[in-house]
Amino acid sequence: MAPKKQLATQNYSKIKGAILRKYEINKETYRQRFRDCAVQDGETPRELFTRLKSFYEKWMTPQAKSKEIGATIIMEQYLSMVSPELRRWIIERNPSTAEEAVDMAEAFVAARLADGAFTLGKTVNKPRHHHESGGSGGVVWEQPPEFKTCEDCSKLNRVEDEHHVCECKIKVFSCELCSKRFLTENGRKVHYRRLHGNYTHFCKYCMINFSTKESKLQHEQVHNTRAQKKRRPHHCSVCGKSYLQRSHLQTHQRVHTGERPYDCSECGKRFNRHCHLQRHQRIHTGEKPYNCSECGKSFTTQSYLQTHQRIHTGEKPHQCSQCGKSFTRLSNLIQHQHTHTGKKPYDCPECGKSFTLPSHLQTHQRIHTGEKPYYCSDCEKSFRHSNSLKLHKCIKKEVEAHDT
């Protein structure tokens, strides 16, 4: 049996060598595939890295001593293939190994896919590998797409892109100083006050105003330092939470006892704190005492006003520890973190499909209900998504301009 096995092994090696010679598959072939490699449709960051590593190992056949150099070469090629946004994200975090860089890329792509479409690779010409019988395997480049320059905005666009709408037609209001464009006149005014005018930044702790965002952030550090230095001698025996005053501890303990001593005289709803009752009663009275100094919008509580003002200041204090994305609300951060954990707590009662965000569930349920709440004021056509309505209006506006 041993001679037969040895003969079979020799025959296999001869056949393999003959096939490789016929199609000219050698180290140079794998070197070309390594250098000409492009991101495939639907390919994940880890699949791309594995494919690059396979081409490199067949090209270089690295030994143990050269594996570290090989990882550097593979990562260099990897970063040259992915999108500029992802490349900057990886380089800024300085991964110690290639595997760590791939883990970072997967977290980054998962976060971006949760918010919408994301393209892993750059916009490049993709090579096609084909091997015909009797011919040699090689790389055939696809024809590059044709571009044309828009006469209005001077941007390059594909020839086949018939629905290009210039930004200057959608955002008709522009800043006189920096030429940034906006959809509304109010947006332009807010931008001008923030960057070019005498805009005031408020401290989120004491509402003192500052002329620059940097001075405001420096001042807020004083509050953070003071809070850390203060001692909290009153501890909850149930959960261990600490408080500066005994009265605050007594109020907190109502969470565990279920006591709600404050009743609403209008609807009978009960609350464990008097401030919560006062806030609730504004629903019945319609009172909104907290006004935004920028746009004049009113709110029932100061916390709602502070959250709203982040729209004008651009502040996003809640940052994801996994991918670094920032949010204005803590609730938005918690929902975003579901993209990393894979948790989908919102289930459709009709088909059982799960979603990470309640807004995604509401949009999905319109498929079952047939609801199309977004209407075009010109043609009365309805849409399930607000983005579909915006695209419809842009296309219609462009067609009307072309006809005239």
What is the model's pLDDT at position 127?
A: 46
pLDDT computed for residue 132 by the predictor: 42
Cross-strand bridge partners of residue 290: 299
| pLDDT at res. 135 | 44
- Tokens standing for residue 239: 């959960």
Residue 23 is predicted with a pLDDT of 47
Is residue 392 within 8 Å of residue 165, measured between CB atoms? no
151, two tokens: 């006469």
Q: Output the pLDDT for position 197.
A: 67
Q: What is the pLDDT of residue 129?
A: 44
| Weakly modelled stretches of the chain, pLDDT under 50 | 1-2, 4-5, 7-8, 22-23, 64-65, 124-142
Taking the mean position of all CA atoms in its chain, how far away is CA 176?
Answer: 31
Q: Residue 249's pLDDT is what?
A: 87
Q: What is the pLDDT of residue 43?
A: 80
Looking at residue 138, its pLDDT comes to 45
User: How high is the pLDDT of residue 142?
Assistant: 45
How far is Cα 368 from Cα 71, in angstroms, rounded to an integer? Answer: 50
Give the span between the Cα atoms of 388 and 373, in whole angstroms: 11
pLDDT of residue 45: 82
Residues 342, 114: contact at Cβ < 8 Å? no
| pLDDT one-digit tens code per residue, 169-213 | 677 788 877 777 787 888 887 777 777 766 667 787 777 777 777
Alpha carbon separation from 227 to 221, 224, 239 (Å, rounded):
10, 5, 20
Residue at token pair 């989120």: 204
Residue-level pLDDT at 124: 45
- 182 neighbors 188 (Cβ within 8 angstroms): yes
Task: Mark out the alpha helices in 39-183 (DSSP H runs).
Answer: 45-60, 67-81, 84-93, 98-115, 167-170
What local confidence, expressed as pLDDT, does residue 171 receive? 75
What does the pLDDT read at residue 400?
77
pLDDT at residue 146, as a whole number: 61
307: tokens are: 């959250």
Is the pTM here over 0.75, yes or no? no
Which residues are CB-contacts of 285 (< 8 A; sequence separation ≥ 6)?
none
